[in-house]
Structure 1
Amino acid sequence: MAKVNYLRVSVTDRCNFRCRYCMPEGVREFIPHKELLTYEEITEIVKTFAQFGVNSVRLTGGEPLIRQGVENLVSLLSEVPGITEITATTNGFLLKEKAGELKKRGLKRVNVSLDTLDPKKFAFITGTTEKALRQVIEGIREAKRVGLTPVKINTVVIRGFNDTEVLDLVAFAAEEGVEIRFIEVMPVGGPFFSKERFVPLQEVKEKVERAFGSLRPVKVKKQGPAKSFKPENLNVSVGFIPSVSEHFCDNCNRLRLTSDGKLRLCLMSEREIDLKSIIRSEGYRPHHLKLAVAQALLAKSAVNGVEALESLGCSRKMFTIGG
């Protein structure tokens, strides 16, 4: 097990999209606002993790940019000693409007979810409109313009939906001067996952290589699940995250904090620690939280995400975890 230095923080379970593999149709109930961690509570938790060597924080959701005042949270986190990088994963819809201020407050870079370049398909998979695709693309361009770089596109590959668009998406990333990462659809988020929809990324990798030449490994500074390459005949970084077909549990360096204050030791495991109840308890002192975090880091090494994956054992929906 790698040293944990990366904390994913979900700031809300709400989203202005309804992506089919993340938020199943019919979802109407969300966490009441009073049950969400406040920005001050998130900052307190991040400060504690920083004492144990966590230096990177990623804001997720739901859609993090729809939570009011999220820029203020970025400011607070940027002042935490030991935190050297604050990033965000977003659907990109509000990025054109917010990128400049987020950069000013201390956000370093963004990942943008983009599964198709076809407006009709985009409306189908996101539950929005065909026009929304253009706004996301404009957001990607604005993020690059203000320096939230490298901008990375995250694409979930789905059989019968966008598996025929892989080469178009790689070419788009090259044209826009951004990176792209392909991700296997995971058994999280309700009934959408199926063997029929699953595409092993080895298949995607071979398709990219046939079209754009041999793939040369790219050295990356940060540890993570993506294996990145550059095609011989195209100037673009292409990453692959084989989250199902090739387990990377032994190299996992992350924990996840849900928007209602549960520390999740593994995306696929049901083991959670309720940090919110600690931080809101009568007589709370910082050492109470510090002890809980220390115990969580010890427990992390005992989590077997492989077993959870193989049993399809994740009952939480993706939008309630933060991805």
Structure 2
Amino acid sequence: MRITYLRVSVTDRCNFRCKYCMPEGNQEFIPHPEILRYEEITEIVRVFTTFGVKSIRLTGGEPLVRKGLEELIFQLKSIEGIEEVTLTTNGYFLKEKARTLKENGLNRVNVSIDTLIPEKFSFITGRERDALFRVIEGVEEAKSIGIEPVKINTVLIRNFNDGELEGFIRFSERFGVEVRFIELMPVGGKFFSSENFIPASEIKEKIVKQFGKLVPHKTKKMGPAKSFKIEGTKAVVGFIPSVSEHFCSECNRLRLTSDGKLRLCLMSEKEIDIKGILRSPSYKRENLVSVVRGALLLKRGINGIEALEGLGCSRKMFTIGG
């Protein structure tokens, strides 16, 4: 599979404390000098375009807590070969920043919403009850200024949000967004368990039984999600069976952590220190080109299935970038 997609984490910091991403307790964040600078990210992306990367997704932590993100988006969109820059966000700051982000070249946005019930939203995120409404206002703003598509990422958690299917379907219809149901992954922390895990196939079956036939929905495919329209409605839903259905053979992505590690697979511990190469006094672009070429060869031998079967990697999700 040709690598065309690079996920870039710009920070490990976040204003939410989602239980499956940033476990409770004091967290040690990466010191700011150790975070990749914007010019370093731009240099890395330039090199990756020579190998066919054309899509960049900015993640975190929460990417919108880092100052000047719109400047990075502008820089990335100015690189020859980059066709789109997208963003995954918790949506808390989206209303106030959406227009500037779009003006600087942002193409698409995914917003994380795991529940539509304010009290549950407060529980899972560690934020105030009304934070949900602020996030929804961000979704509305993004749609109103023409960011398209806007997708909602919903992590499936048994006995928490698996009873909210009708609410999410109505949300999809009302706001014209695709709701993507994502399986809970065993990445860092103790929140993942067999009791909390619910396969996407189970949710898919419930939707068919309660609401009608799922019709494949043509969409620009940049990842593992399979999208469907629900017959007789205006709703669009997607499913990402990250654990129950392996898609390693179809993986077209790499991840760059905010501290400059190139991660060949979300579930694998194998990382390459890109930042160390960039900050070497003798840095030359050809050095980075050579390392990236080698990383792409290594990627072919990575087996994320083995990591999944061993219940995941040791790094917590917020330190990787999702």
Q: TM-score, length-normalised on structure 2?
A: 0.99
Q: Which amino acid aligns with 1:45?
A: I
Q: Is the 8 A contact 1:188 1:316 kept in 2?
A: yes
| 1:201 aligned residue | 200
Cα distance in 2 for residues equivalent to 1:313 and 1:137 = 32
Gaps of 5+ in 1: none
Q: Which amino acid aligns with 1:188?
A: V
Residues 90-101 of structure 1 mapped to structure 2, 5 A cutoff: 90-101=89-100
| 2:216 aligned residue | 217
Q: Which amino acid aligns with 1:105?
A: N
Q: Is the 8 A contact 1:109 1:147 kept in 2?
A: no
Deviations 1:174-193 (A, max 9, x none): 11111110000010130000
| 1:163 aligned residue | 162
Deviation at 1:27, TM superposition (A): 3.1
Deviation at 1:291, TM superposition (A): 0.5
In the alignment, structure 1 residue 31 sits paired with structure 2 residue 30: yes
Cα distance in 2 for residues equivalent to 1:223 and 1:137 = 25
Cα distance in 2 for residues equivalent to 1:236 and 1:158 = 21
In the alignment, structure 1 residue 172 sits paired with structure 2 residue 171: yes
Q: Is the 8 A contact 1:189 1:319 kept in 2?
A: no
| 1:183 aligned residue | 182
Q: Is the 8 A contact 1:217 1:228 kept in 2?
A: yes
Q: Which amino acid aligns with 1:189?
A: G
Q: Which amino acid aligns with 1:140?
A: V
Cα distance in 2 for residues equivalent to 1:202 and 1:68 = 39
Cα distance in 1 for residues equivalent to 2:168 and 2:220 = 24
| 2:66 aligned residue | 67
Cα distance in 2 for residues equivalent to 1:156 and 1:34 = 32
- SS class of match (2:169): helix
Cα distance in 1 for residues equivalent to 2:29 and 2:199 = 32
Deviation at 1:220, TM superposition (A): 2.3
| 1:10 aligned residue | 9
Cα distance in 1 for residues equivalent to 2:25 and 2:163 = 29
Q: Which amino acid aligns with 1:208?
A: I
Residues 101-112 of structure 1 mapped to structure 2, 5 A cutoff: 101-112=100-111
Q: Is the 8 A contact 2:5 2:222 kept in 1?
A: no
- SS class of match (1:167): helix
Aligned residues with identical type, % of pairs:
65
| 1:138 aligned residue | 137
Cα distance in 1 for residues equivalent to 2:225 and 2:66 = 28
Cα distance in 1 for residues equivalent to 2:166 and 2:306 = 33
Q: Which amino acid aligns with 2:243?
A: V
Q: Is the 8 A contact 2:200 2:239 kept in 1?
A: yes
Cα distance in 1 for residues equivalent to 2:60 and 2:135 = 17
- SS class of match (1:156): strand
The worse-fitting range, judged by mean Cα deviation, of 8-17 and 307-316 is 307-316
Q: Is the 8 A contact 2:121 2:132 kept in 1?
A: yes
- SS class of match (2:29): coil
Q: Which amino acid aligns with 1:93?
A: Y
Deviation at 1:222, TM superposition (A): 2.1
Q: Is the 8 A contact 2:15 2:62 kept in 1?
A: yes
Deviations 1:268-290 (A, max 9, x none): 00000000000000110000111
Cα distance in 2 for residues equivalent to 1:162 and 1:179 = 17
Please provide the CA RMSD for this pair: 0.8
- SS class of match (2:269): coil
Deviation at 1:91, TM superposition (A): 0.1
Gaps of 5+ in 2: none
Deviation at 1:219, TM superposition (A): 2.1
Q: Which amino acid aligns with 2:131?
A: A
Deviation at 1:223, TM superposition (A): 3.4
Q: Which amino acid aligns with 1:135?
A: R
Cα distance in 1 for residues equivalent to 2:315 and 2:70 = 28
Number of residue pairs matched? Answer: 322
Cα distance in 1 for residues equivalent to 2:137 and 2:33 = 34
| 2:248 aligned residue | 249
Deviation at 1:224, TM superposition (A): 1.5
Q: Which amino acid aligns with 1:311?
A: G
